[in-house]
Amino acid sequence: MTSRVGTAVQRHITGLIAAAAALGMAATLTACGGGEGNDVTLKLVAADYGDSAANTSQKYWDGLTAAYEKDHPGIKIDVTVYPWTSVDAKVKKMVDSGHAPDMAQIGAYADYAAAGKLYPVSDLLNVPTQADFLSQLSDAGEVGQTQYGMPFAASTRLLFYNKKLFKAAGIEPPTNWSQLAADARALKRDGVEIPYALPLGPEEAQAETMIWMLSGGGSYTDDVGSYAIDSKQNIKTFDFLKDDLVGKGLTGPTAPGKLNRAAAFAAFAKGEVGMLNGHPTLMKTAAKKGVDYGTVELPGPDGPAKSTMGVADWMMAFKQNGHRKQIGDFLNYVYDEKNVLDFSREYNLLPVTTSASATMAATRSDAKLWPFLKTLPDAELYPGGKTSWASVSADVKQQIGSAVSSRGNPAAVLGRLQVAASAAESAE
């Protein structure tokens, strides 16, 4: 999602006056009528942001829906939470079998929007709620100039470093690539097992790839939104990774193409990693294990990177069951400032609304999130508005690790990815 400042939030909502009788004619999974005055059960499938049974997202949704149902007799919200490893597939299976949920909170929306299965956001939310989304996130939720994806949670990336290991090695956190490589060499000399963790394994290689592309002045796409995976900047970036980090033995015993993000984060929390790129949830994991960490802006070739990667997860509403009015009313409640803040604080994520962001920026107890919050306005997101992105992302996950292997050729690997991406884009 590469768009920056969108115009979607300026459009007025025009769809909330549709006849309630039309809602009553829609087929539903629950066999409940959709007209006003009838009991309605809305089905929501959501992703789990918790890291244990104690803070599973199911508890968040159970509390939120209980409060909502108390003030809305006749409306029931049935929420099922799945792990991130399966939630997208679960929703796809439901949709493909003709049993779409009313709402889904998952990782991508564009395929469903392109297939005509989603309500436009302007048909659901009132003007104040829609206008409260951060502008670059609203814009990133568009397909064909119409917003279908509602941002639900956001995060950005910073460089995490282990203060104890850095002090022992007598080094300071880096501001550019040569300093990063020098710090990694010093950490290795001091016996650190993984001076720099480079997770290019299939779990989330597309994220680490984009972080490094941005730090080198490139990205997945160019200024007009076309894929530019094999740009000169990106080739230079992966040449640096291959020659100056991986080739020098500075990324640990596991080949980057086999190292997943979860394993890299776990190793950092054990004190085995000197530095790595991370998102806000790593703070809680590291602190729980007693790791004294610091964060700095991502280093670039000659100084701090001009941009970092932002990630947004999405809420969407399916048209299949009707219930547009009831769905819209519930989602207006979901995006109330208090609820947005409660969720963001529970899971160390960034608010997706202007009002909640302003409150977080002014609240001292949220200070640990301020460095991430500061980078969000200029962060660049995946090109998720492209229906081709899912296949491009899958290709990156499978192939990018080979670019930095001992026999790897970054230009060749990036070139193959570019050819496949261009073909996928042409087929949109």
The CATH number of the domain holding residue 372 is: 3.40.190.10
User: Quick one: 141 and 264 in the same domain?
Assistant: no
Instruction: Assess if residue 298 is contained within a domain.
Output: yes
User: Quick one: 322 and 217 in the same domain?
Assistant: no
For the cut 90, the answer to whether the pLDDT of residue 23 exceeds it is no
Instruction: Assess if residue 1 is contained within a domain.
Output: no
User: Quick one: 281 and 293 in the same domain?
Assistant: yes
User: Quick one: 409 and 323 in the same domain?
Assistant: no
The model carries a pTM of 0.82
Instruction: Assess if residue 370 is contained within a domain.
Output: yes
pLDDT at 229: 98
pLDDT tens string 31-53: 333 344 469 999 999 999 987 88
User: Quick one: 399 and 251 in the same domain?
Assistant: yes
pLDDT tens string 245-268: 999 999 999 999 999 999 999 999
Average pLDDT over all residues of the chain: 90
Q: Which two tokens stand for residue 148?
A: 């279908």
Instruction: Assess if residue 177 is contained within a domain.
Output: yes
C-alpha distances out from residue 268 to 126, 127, 209, Å: 43, 44, 19
In angstroms, rounded to a whole number, what is the distance separating the alpha carbons of residues 298 and 276? 10
pLDDT tens string 104-125: 999 889 999 999 999 999 999 9
Domain count, the chain: 2
User: Quick one: 405 and 275 in the same domain?
Assistant: yes
Question: Which residue in the block uniquely carries the two structure tokens 């970092």?
Answer: 308
pLDDT at 38: 65
User: Quick one: 249 and 398 in the same domain?
Assistant: yes
HSE at residue 288, side-chain half, CA atoms within 13 A, is 10
How many C-beta atoms surround the C-beta of residue 191 within 10 A? Answer: 9
In angstroms, rounded to a whole number, what is the distance separating the alpha carbons of residues 177 and 174? 7
Q: Which two tokens stand for residue 279?
A: 């998102």
C-alpha distances out from residue 116 to 158, 243, 341, Å: 37, 46, 32
User: Quick one: 374 and 401 in the same domain?
Assistant: no
What residues contact 105, with CB distance under 8 A and at least 6 apart? 44, 45, 46, 47, 152, 313, 314, 315, 316
Q: Which domain holds residue 259?
A: 158-307+388-426
For the cut 90, the answer to whether the pLDDT of residue 303 exceeds it is yes
pLDDT at 387: 86
pLDDT at 1: 37
For the cut 60, the answer to whether the pLDDT of residue 9 exceeds it is no
pLDDT at 3: 35
User: Quick one: 133 and 190 in the same domain?
Assistant: no
For the cut 70, the answer to whether the pLDDT of residue 5 exceeds it is no
For the cut 60, the answer to whether the pLDDT of residue 347 exceeds it is yes
